[in-house]
Amino acid sequence: MFIRTEDLTYTYFPGTPFAVEVLRGVNLSIARGSFTVLLGPSGSGKSTLLQHFNGLLQPSGGRVYVDGEPLGYSRRELLQLRQKVGLVFQEPESQFFAETLFDEVAFAPRNFGLSPAAVDKRVQRALQLVGLDDAAFLAKSPFRLSAGQQRLAAIASVLAMQPQALILDEPTAGLDQAAQDRLFALLQELNREQGITVIVVTHRLEQVVPLAHHFLVMVEGRIIMEGSAAEIFSRPDVLERCGLALPPATRLMQELAAAGLPFSTAIFSLEEARAEINAWRERRAQR
């Protein structure tokens, strides 16, 4: 197991009248090299949970293990942890601090003591991977990028660390379609070719269903369900309870079926829908 939690609890503002218990006993295991999707309604504690995986938050109770070791929270231990586990925040601008995009992405590689030439190469590569490799951007302040460009910059700066686990908190928010497609293709490649452990929070199931091995569903600070895509989709009641939308192709097929057309609703992609409708058309043509 690469990441594991044991009875993890977390309370914001403990001991004050504002105390809120956000994680209420989370037990989970994430295998090395797996692709995990964390689902759940807004406010269920997903972002709070992820921030425990790279030591940004320290448990109120219970434990977090990474790579078999219980996490320690000294400066040195945290530095080591963050080389292994890279987290892309839900709000990308909250992780920027450098004057230029180049310095932002170069921060971690420089910290690892790489030579300037090697740093340069890593930065170029990371920006290229996310599609932000227009030279005009390099000297620009990350705060002066468009919203989508800022998210890509945040992803690039974590990629430049070359972590063993890559955690992304709602990474597609604000990205255009091409950037989303590029991101998921990249995550798939990192996961399959390089064995990088990937953990993604998203509300858009259609994009992750073909990639993910493992789904976790969080509601009110607990993992209420986990399993493969098939296991999760077989429980529309659970999906509905946590406010998850079915993939657009599934919803479309449901509307067609409701109108009396003989279509399966166990369809998750447009290509599957296309095949289903074409098969129906051929059957009718043969009658």
Ligand X SMILES: Nc1ncnc2c1ncn2[C@@H]1O[C@H](COP(=O)(O)OP(=O)(O)OP(=O)(O)O)[C@@H](O)[C@H]1O
Ligand Y SMILES: Nc1ncnc2c1ncn2[C@@H]1O[C@H](COP(=O)(O)OP(=O)(O)O)[C@@H](O)[C@H]1O
* Footprint on this chain of ligand Y (rule: CB under 6 A): 12, 20, 22, 40, 42-48
Give the span between the Cα atoms of 133 and 183, in whole angstroms.
Answer: 14
> Smallest distance, Å, CB 233 to ligand Y?
21
Residue number, 45 or 86, with CB nearest to ligand Y: 45
Residue 248 touching ligand X (CB under 6 A): no
Residues in region 42-61 near Mg ion by CB under 5 A: 46-47
Closest residue to ligand X in the complex (CB): 148
Residue 149 binds Mg ion (CB under 5 A): no
Cα-Cα-Cα-Cα torsion 133, 136, 140, 146, nearest 10 degrees, comes to -70
In the block, residue with structure tokens 């302040």: 141
Q: What is the bridge-based pairing of β-strands 165-169 and 61-66?
A: unpaired
Reference 190, options 214, 215, 211, 169; nearest CA is 211
Tell the smallest beta-carbon distance from residue 54 to another protein (Å). Answer: 21
Among 118, 147, 230, 258, binds Mg ion (CB under 5 A): 147
Question: Does residue 279 sit in helix, strand or coil?
Answer: helix
Span from 23-31, 142-150, 221-229, 271-279 in contact with ligand X (CB under 6 A): 142-150
Distance separating alpha carbons of residues 16 and 150, to the nearest angstrom: 35
Site residues for Mg ion, 127-146, by CB under 5 A, read: 146
HEC readout, 179-240: HHHHHHHHHHHHHHHHCCEEEEECCCHHHHCCCCCEEEEEECCEEEEEECHHHHHCCHHHHH
Among 145, 154, 246, 256, binds ligand X (CB under 6 A): 145
Across the strands, what pairs with 66? 3, 69
Rank residues 90 and 197 by Cβ distance to another protein and give the closer one: 90
Choosing from 16, 146, 177, 286, the residue that interacts with ligand X (CB under 6 A) is: 146
User: In the stretch 8-47, what mask flags binding to Mg ion with x, by CB under 5 A?
Assistant: --------------------------------------xx
Helical spans, DSSP H, in 70-141: 75-84, 101-111, 116-130
Examine residue 177 and tell whether it contacts ligand X (CB under 6 A).
no
Tell me which of Mg ion, another protein, ligand Y, none is bound by residue 117, counting a contact when its beta carbon lies within the kind-specific cut-off of 5 to 8 angstroms. Answer: none
Q: How many helices (H) and strands (E) does the chain have?
A: 11, 10
Cβ-based nearer residue to another protein, 216 or 256:
256
Compute the least distance from the CB of residue 149 to ligand X, in Å.
Answer: 5
Interacting partner of 160 out of ligand Y, ligand X, another protein, none (Cβ under 5 to 8 A depending on kind) = none
29 near 4, Cβ under 8 Å? yes
Q: What is the dihedral of CA 114, 156, 72, 37, to 10 degrees?
A: -150
Please state the closest distance from residue 181 (CB atom) to another protein, in A: 8
Query: How far is 107 from 161, CA to CA, in rounded Å?
Result: 9
Partner whose footprint covers residue 145, from Mg ion, ligand X, ligand Y, none (CB < 5 to 8 Å by kind): ligand X
For Mg ion, give the closer residue by CB, 147 or 185.
147
Q: For binding to ligand X (CB under 6 A), which residues are involved?
A: 144-149, 174
